[in-house]
């Protein structure tokens, strides 16, 4: 029989979104944070670039707003973009004040400023960073701030949301992946901050935990899912090496500092695709690299920074430098082989400006949510900013529903006992089906798509789903595979619906943008 655990706030995920929310509500009641792996394992932890906010003397929220709208290709919600750009600087400053060690410098008059980087699509330098390991610094700083304020449950995998008879979310069903024990957590407020979906693809910069769990369980509970066709492929992942089943990210900031993309024979090419050259938006760069690789019949292109000041490169990108060096690549002496890889989902669980889903008591923030900020293409380093702003707003809204000691929660008796049987021993078939799924989605719903490839991929995913549903007993791997199947279906079905090319979604059989029919969100 599952154990029942009551709390005031239930947070699923331990990236910046979940941790900032927990930080803001920890004084209001008991907070439980569930995380699949160690507390620091999340997409946030691998964010190298930084967090975008208008701190520069030549910058303003209005300029940031315009850059974000331009990148979104018409699908961003203007009022959301304005709100995020306006609230960003204040919250980033507050984040810094909690002890996050962003890179700073003193000007000639002795005043401290953030060292602002510049990335593709931004017309100003506005990327607040901690050298090239910003995500890790934010995550570790917030975990330190939350010490003794929240209860962390590591290696806990949520496999279902719990709804009452009124379709209100009152908790989640969870398995302890170390013991196989099942728990039912009940809370007045449930927040999904489960991150991305990168592991659905064969090539990804995301860690192994990014299997789209939050999006899948919210969808099965009745949440609306928006714009899953817009998957951002980071143009520059290190080719030829995987670290813990993910490609190592070569930050966009490397191009911001002057890195040049070249074909393997040394020729530059980005000037042929966009007026901003190597600083073009990511979707343009990823497609350009994909086209150049196919044209030459090669598996990668080169990112060259050998012309830059070596000391500056090592100072600005110590993590990238040392990691590449450990893999036998000295980036100050030789170009970096790079290839596009799945990096970020711009769609997700549809939320309003307070992070609320269409399911009462269920919030979603961060990469698993669709707020309307990114539209058809995410502007670099806007993701950490979005997570921060919406976690803040979700915390404000959730204060309205604080009920001491969960006095309003009455778990339906039908929930217990749970008839599911679990095992911690994974079956080889699970691994095979997972590999099949990743290759299918990469080939059929990758950087360049067509209705024929998408339809073929959908049929293959349906076959994989049939094979997966008969695997018993359930294991953590089966749960994640089923979530990935759901996410794959959502991506492919959304891409089939949108018969145009816009932002991150490119169809070779519909290469033009069609504002008459598709200047709208895709809702499933």
pLDDT at 281: 80
Q: Mean per-residue pLDDT for 165-182?
A: 93
Please tell me the chain's helix, strand, coil percentages from 3-state DSSP, rounded to the nearest 5: 40, 20, 40
Would residue 502 show up in a list of annotated catalytic residues for this protein? Answer: no
pLDDT-derived band at 48, boundaries 50, 70, 90: low
pLDDT at 418: 56
pLDDT at 253: 84
Higher pLDDT, 144 or 7: 7
Query: Do the beta carbons of residue 19 and residue 144 sit within 8 Å?
Result: no
Q: What is the domain partition of the chain in residue ranges?
A: 237-341, 428-518
- Of 126, 255, 282, 378, catalytic: 282
- Min mean pLDDT across 197-206, 403-412, 423-432, 484-493 is at 403-412
Give the integer Cα–Cα distance in Å for 51 and 129.
7
Pairing between β-strand 336-345 and β-strand 362-364 as defined by DSSP bridges: unpaired
Preceding omega of 473 cis (within 30 degrees of 0): yes
How does DSSP classify residue 239? E
pLDDT at 44: 47
Q: Mean per-residue pLDDT for 509-514?
A: 97
Q: Mean per-residue pLDDT for 373-388?
A: 93
The domain at 428-518 falls in which architecture?
A: Up-down Bundle (1.20)
In the chain, pLDDT over 90 holds for what percent of residues?
Answer: 75
Give the integer Cα–Cα distance in Å for 101 and 129.
9
Three-class DSSP labels, 58-105: CCCHHHHHHHHHHHHCCCCCHHHHHHHHHHHHHHHHHHHHCCCCCCEE
pLDDT tens digits for range 320-334: 999 999 999 999 999
pLDDT at 133: 73
Sheet holding 348-350, edge to edge: 225-226, 348-350, 369-370
pLDDT at 125: 92
pLDDT at 134: 81
The sign of the CA dihedral 15, 16, 21, 22 is: positive
pLDDT at 185: 96
pLDDT at 45: 46
> Which of 138-142, 314-318, 347-351, 426-430 is most confident?
347-351
pLDDT averaged over the chain?
A: 91
In the chain, pLDDT over 70 holds for what percent of residues?
Answer: 94
Rg (CA), the chain: 22
pLDDT tens digits for range 388-409: 999 999 999 998 776 654 444 4
pLDDT-derived band at 24, boundaries 50, 70, 90: very high
Is the pTM higher than 0.85? The answer reads yes
- Name the CATH topology of 237-341: Flavocytochrome C3; Chain A, domain 1 (3.90.700)
Render the burial of 188-214: b for 16+ CB within 10 Å, e for the rest.
bbbbbbbbbbbbbbbbbbbbebbbbbb
Is the confidence at residue 172, as pLDDT, over 90?
Answer: yes
pLDDT at 1: 67
Give the integer Cα–Cα distance in Å for 323 and 330.
10
Query: Do the beta carbons of residue 171 and residue 4 sit within 8 Å?
Result: no
Q: Mean per-residue pLDDT for 68-77?
A: 95
pLDDT tens digits for range 89-113: 999 999 999 988 899 988 888 888 9
pLDDT at 420: 66
pLDDT at 410: 47
pLDDT at 243: 84
- Bridge partners, residue 432, by sequence: none
Q: Mean per-residue pLDDT for 11-34?
A: 95
pLDDT at 403: 61
């Amino acid at each position: 029989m599952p154990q029942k655990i009551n709390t005031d706030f239930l947070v699923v995920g331990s990236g910046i979104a979940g941790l900032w929310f927990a930080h803001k509500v920890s004084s209001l009641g008991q907070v439980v944070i569930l995380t699949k792996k160690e507390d620091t394992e999340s997409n946030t932890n691998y964010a190298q670039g930084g967090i975008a906010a208008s701190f520069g003397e030549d910058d303003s929220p209005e300029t940031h707003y315009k850059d974000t709208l331009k990148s979104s290709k018409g699908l961003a919600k203007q009022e959301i973009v304005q709100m995020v750009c306006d609230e960003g600087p204040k919250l980033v400053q507050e984040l810094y004040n909690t002890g996050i060690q962003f890179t700073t410098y003193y000007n000639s008059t002795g005043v401290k400023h953030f060292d602002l980087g510049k990335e593709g699509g931004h017309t100003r330098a506005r990327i607040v960073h901690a050298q090239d390991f910003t995500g890790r610094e934010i995550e570790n700083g917030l975990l330190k701030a939350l010490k003794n304020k929240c209860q962390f449950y590591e290696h806990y995998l949520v496999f279902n949301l719990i709804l009452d008879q009124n379709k209100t979310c009152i908790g989640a069903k969870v398995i302890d992946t170390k013991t196989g024990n099942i728990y039912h957590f009940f809370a007045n407020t449930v927040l999904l901050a489960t991150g991305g979906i990168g592991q659905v693809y064969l090539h990804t910069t995301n860690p192994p935990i990014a299997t789209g769990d939050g999006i899948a369980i919210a969808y099965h509970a009745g949440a609306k899912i928006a714009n899953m066709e817009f998957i951002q492929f980071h143009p520059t992942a290190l080719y030829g090496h995987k670290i813990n089943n993910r490609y190592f990210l070569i930050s966009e900031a490397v191009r911001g500092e002057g890195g040049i993309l070249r074909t393997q024979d040394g020729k530059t090419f980005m000037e042929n695709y966009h007026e901003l050259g190597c600083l073009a938006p990511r979707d343009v760069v990823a497609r350009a690299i994909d086209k150049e690789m196919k044209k030459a019949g090669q598996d990668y292109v080169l990112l060259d920074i050998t012309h830059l000041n070596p000391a500056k490169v090592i100072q600005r990108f110590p993590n990238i430098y040392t990691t590449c060096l450990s893999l036998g690549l000295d980036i100050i002496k030789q170009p970096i082989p790079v290839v596009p890889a799945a990096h970020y989902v711009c769609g997700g669980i549809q939320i309003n400006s307070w992070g609320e889903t269409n399911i009462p008591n269920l919030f979603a923030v961060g990469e698993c949510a669709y707020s309307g900020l990114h539209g058809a293409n995410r502007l670099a380093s806007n993701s950490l900013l979005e997570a921060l702003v919406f976690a803040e707003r979700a915390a404000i809204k959730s204060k309205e529903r604080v009920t001491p000691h969960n006095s309003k929660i009455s778990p339906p008796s039908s929930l217990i006992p749970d008839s599911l049987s679990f095992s911690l021993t994974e079956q080889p078939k699970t691994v095979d089906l997972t590999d099949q799924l990743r290759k299918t989605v990469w080939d059929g719903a990758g950087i360049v798509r067509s209705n024929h490839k998408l339809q073929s991929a959908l049929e293959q995913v349906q076959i994989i789903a049939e094979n997966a549903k008969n695997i018993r007993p359930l294991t953590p791997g089966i749960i994640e595979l089923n979530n990935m199947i759901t996410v794959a279906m959502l991506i492919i079905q959304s891409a089939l619906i949108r018969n145009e090319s816009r932002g991150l979604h490119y169809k070779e059989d519909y290469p033009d943008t069609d504002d008459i029919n598709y200047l709208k969100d895709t809702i499933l």
